[in-house]
Structure 1
Amino acid sequence: MLKYESEMRLHYMNPHYFYALRIPNKVKQELDEWIQEIKPSFPFQKWVHPEDYHITLAFLGNAAAVQLQNTESIIRETISTIMPFEMKTDRLGTFGQEMNPRIFWANSSTPSSLVELRRNIYKACESQGFQLDQRTFTPHITLARKWGGENAFQRELLNQFNLEKAIEWQGNEVVLYQTHLDRVPKYEVKSAFILN
């Protein structure tokens, strides 16, 4: 028990950071209304607070202040030519085992500007020594984690709750979030970069 408590204290003392595409508050509200309707049919164990909805662009983990400062300077310069872009969200999906998924998400369109934005942010972060996930970029909005149903997850359920009319919004702000595991909502904006 003491070892676990010590590890948790260490985790809280070493905050994690990540860059994300910020989702406008109005869109967060629309997403939350959708989620409240479908929650009874999807017994996941941990639901994300609406304020924490985002699209992750680069997860950094622990970071020294100088690393963050240098990365922010590079990002500010390299994304200055990227204009705001249109985004759409209208369907649900999962990551993990098909019958016991670990992540429940809402999709995101993948415009070329979003791909370019993410590529520039990755290059900036890697230039400062960050070891980043090399898996294919699959933009999404995490809604919940850890399947908790008594029966296996039924993938056919997803199509029943997709939206007939997509939620449309504009991607125009990148933020650096700090994670606070002892708070709800748990993500704090440390820096923001407006696309214009």
Structure 2
Amino acid sequence: MRRIFIALRPPDSVCEALLDTMEGVPGARWQDADNLHVTLRFIGEVDRHAFADVITAMESVSLHPFEIKVAGVGHFEGRNRPRALWARVEPSASLADLQHSVEIACRRAGMSPETRRFVPHITLARLNAGSAPIGDWLAANGALALPSWRAESFALFESELGRSEAIYQEIAQFP
């Protein structure tokens, strides 16, 4: 079984700028530069046949290059406490169209429909009950605004769960 997802990878310059925000919350598990991405569709564990079907389905998705911009930060909550810190990716019609096309392709490949609303973001840190409060970090980074970049491809990634963090490996890229 392979644990996979579809994502856009920001350029190194954007990753470096995001790394500069990753401090000030003791107990946060900050992401490595190699793990920064905009998830278009988390698929989960698949067998080798479903894996091949996903690759075939993604090859049919048309990507018309478009600009992506990071502006602002936020967090996700679960069980009444913050679970993750993220950089906000500005919504756009082009990004929504790509995400929708990826979702349709996943369904054609036999995947169950995604039920969560698409919130474009780049996860910066995972939090747990031992993490410090995030209010100061949110205030300090709320005006984050990075130069836009051109999305010219998206990729299929495999996620291997490790003891302290997941390790993401790009398996296939789709222009």
Please indicate, yes or no, whether the TM-score normalized by the shorter chain is above 0.5.
yes
Say if 2:161 is the partner of 1:181: yes
C-alpha contact 1:99 1:153 (8 A) present in aligned 2: no
- The amino acid across from 2:12 in the alignment is N
State the percentage of identical aligned residues: 27
Aligned partner (choices 47, 57, 72) of residue 91 of structure 1: 72
Distance 1:120 1:43 in 2: 39
C-alpha contact 2:2 2:47 (8 A) present in aligned 1: no
Q: Structure 1 stretches of 5 or more lacking a match?
A: 1-13
C-alpha contact 2:159 2:166 (8 A) present in aligned 1: no
Which structure would you say has the larger Rg? Answer: 1
Partner of 2:148: 168
Q: Structure 2 stretches of 5 or more lacking a match?
A: none
Instruction: Give me the CA root mean square deviation.
Output: 2.3
Partner of 2:36: 53
TM-score by length of 2: 0.86
- Distance change (3 Å), C-alpha of 1:112 and 1:149: same
C-alpha contact 1:44 1:144 (8 A) present in aligned 2: no
Aligned partner (choices 106, 111, 121) of residue 130 of structure 1: 111
Say if 2:59 is the partner of 1:76: yes
TM-score by length of 1: 0.78
Greater mean deviation of Cα atoms: 174-183 or 134-143: 174-183
Distance 2:107 2:174 in 1: 19
Distance 2:160 2:134 in 1: 30
SS at match of 2:60: helix
